[in-house]
Amino acid sequence: METITTISDLRERLDAERGAGRGVGFVPTMGYLHAGHLSLASASVADNPVTVVSIFVNPLQFAEGEDLDSYPRDLVSDSAQCAALGVDYLFVPSVEEMYPSPIVTVVEVPSVATPLEGLTRPHHFAGVATVVAKLFSIVGKCRAYLGAKDWQQVCVVERMVSDLSMPVEVVACPTVREPDGLAMSSRNVYLTSEERVQAPVLRAALDAGLDAIAGGETDSAVVEATMAAVVNTAGLASLEYAAAVQADSLVSDGPLHGEVRLLVAARFGKARLIDNDGTEI
Ligand code: AMP
Task: Please tell me the distance between residue 54's alpha carbon and the centre of ligand 1 in angstroms.
Answer: 12
Query: For position 262, what pLDDT does the model report?
Result: 98
pTM listed for this prediction: 0.97
Half-sphere exposure of 178 (CA within 13 A, CB side): 15
187 Cβ contact partners less than 8 Å away, ≥ 6 residues apart: 67, 271, 272, 273
Task: Please tell me the distance between residue 173's alpha carbon and the centre of ligand 1 in angstroms.
Answer: 9
**Residue-wise pLDDT tens digits, 36-50:** 999 999 999 999 999
Element (H, E) at 277: strand 271-280
Nearest to 128, CA basis, from 167, 102, 101, 158: 158
Task: Please tell me the distance between residue 155's alpha carbon and the centre of ligand 1 in angstroms.
Answer: 14
Q: 30 CB under 6 A from ligand 1?
A: yes
User: Which amino acid residue places its CA nearest to atom 10 of ligand 1?
Assistant: 146
Nearest to 44, CA basis, from 33, 28, 65, 59: 28
Query: For position 12, what pLDDT does the model report?
Result: 98
Q: What is the pLDDT along the chain (281 residues), one digit of tens a residue?
A: 999 999 999 999 999 999 999 999 999 999 999 999 999 999 999 999 999 999 999 999 999 999 999 999 999 999 999 999 999 999 999 999 999 999 999 999 999 999 999 999 999 999 999 999 999 999 999 999 999 999 999 999 999 999 999 999 999 999 999 999 999 999 999 999 999 999 999 999 999 999 999 999 999 999 999 999 999 999 999 999 999 999 999 999 999 999 999 999 999 999 999 999 999 99
Query: For position 227, what pLDDT does the model report?
Result: 98
Q: Write the single-letter amino acid at 266.
A: A
Q: 127 CB under 6 A from ligand 1?
A: no
Q: 130 CB under 6 A from ligand 1?
A: no
Catalytic status, residue 34: no
65 φ, ψ (degrees, to nearest 5)? 90, -10
